[in-house]
């Protein structure tokens, strides 16, 4: 598959995993990576309990991102009406609220089942990608293995399950 040339929206978990595996520079260098303010804030939550090598410098993170978007309550409310029974955390809800207002060619990378369900329900399945796929297409193989939820295999299996559940 050809590498995506548009915007890659990422959630907090993807940022944390890319840093954990030493893949952040490859990800941010290979794509126009964007996120929302709530996800940046979440990267700093629990900062004191992380080992020094797993801490994310907020200024450096912002510098590597193509954009960090503010999301208003109206956007979040519009999303909540469309997916009222899906329990998204604040960062995921903000990221999806932002994504739905875009008119460009974007993809979204976030391994949480609720976020994937949201994407399926909103008709955005083709825009959902795994971190492993993004890194593969950027020509990067992490030195530290990705956790299962960030792999293409887990992503495709989970999407398949969610599509079946949502069609019932």
Residue 86 is part of a domain; what is its CATH number? 3.40.50.1010
Q: CB–CB of 34/7 below 8 Å? A: yes
Residue 150: which domain range? Answer: 7-167
In a domain? residue 137: yes
Q: What is the pLDDT of residue 53?
A: 64
Q: CB–CB of 31/138 below 8 Å? A: yes
Q: What is the pLDDT of residue 55?
A: 80
In a domain? residue 22: yes
In a domain? residue 2: no
From CA 6, how far away is CA 33, in angstroms rounded? Answer: 9
* 117-133 pLDDT tens trace: 999 999 999 999 999 99
In a domain? residue 1: no
In a domain? residue 61: yes
Low-confidence ranges of the chain (pLDDT < 50): none
Q: What is the pLDDT of residue 116?
A: 98
**DSSP letters of the chain?**
-PPP-SEEEE-HHHHHHHHHTT-HHHHHHHSEEEEEHHHHHHHHTTGGGS-GGG---HHHHHHHSSEEE---HHHHHHHHHHTTTS---HHHHHHHHHHHT--S-EEEE---HHHHHHHHHTT-GGGEE-HHHHHHHTT---SSPPPGGGSHHHHHHHHHHHHHHHH-
**Residue from 133, 126, 115 nearest 31 by CA:** 133
Share of the chain above pLDDT 90, in %: 88
In a domain? residue 91: yes
In a domain? residue 126: yes
**Residue from 24, 7, 5 nearest 142 by CA:** 24
**Residue from 99, 157, 144 nearest 123 by CA:** 99
Q: Within 10 A of 145 (CB to CB), how many other CB atoms are there?
A: 11
In a domain? residue 144: yes
What is the tally of structural domains in the chain? Answer: 1
């Amino acid at each position: 598959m050809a590498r995506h040339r548009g915007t890659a929206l990422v959630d907090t978990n993807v940022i944390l995993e890319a840093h954990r595996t030493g893949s952040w520079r490859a990800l941010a260098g290979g794509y126009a990576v964007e996120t929302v303010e709530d996800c940046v804030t979440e990267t700093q939550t629990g900062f004191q309990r992380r080992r020094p090598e797993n801490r994310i410098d907020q200024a450096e993170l912002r510098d590597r991102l193509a954009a960090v978007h503010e999301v208003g309550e109206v956007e979040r409310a519009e999303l909540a009406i469309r997916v009222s029974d899906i329990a998204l955390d604040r960062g995921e809800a903000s990221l999806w609220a932002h994504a739905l207002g875009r008119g460009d060619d974007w993809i979204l990378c976030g391994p949480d089942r609720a976020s994937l369900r949201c994407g399926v329900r909103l008709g955005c399945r083709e825009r959902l990608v795994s971190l492993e796929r993004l890194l593969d297409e950027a020509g990067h193989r992490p030195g530290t293995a990705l956790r299962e939820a960030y792999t293409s295999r887990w992503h495709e299996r989970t999407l398949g399950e969610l599509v079946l559940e949502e069609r019932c």
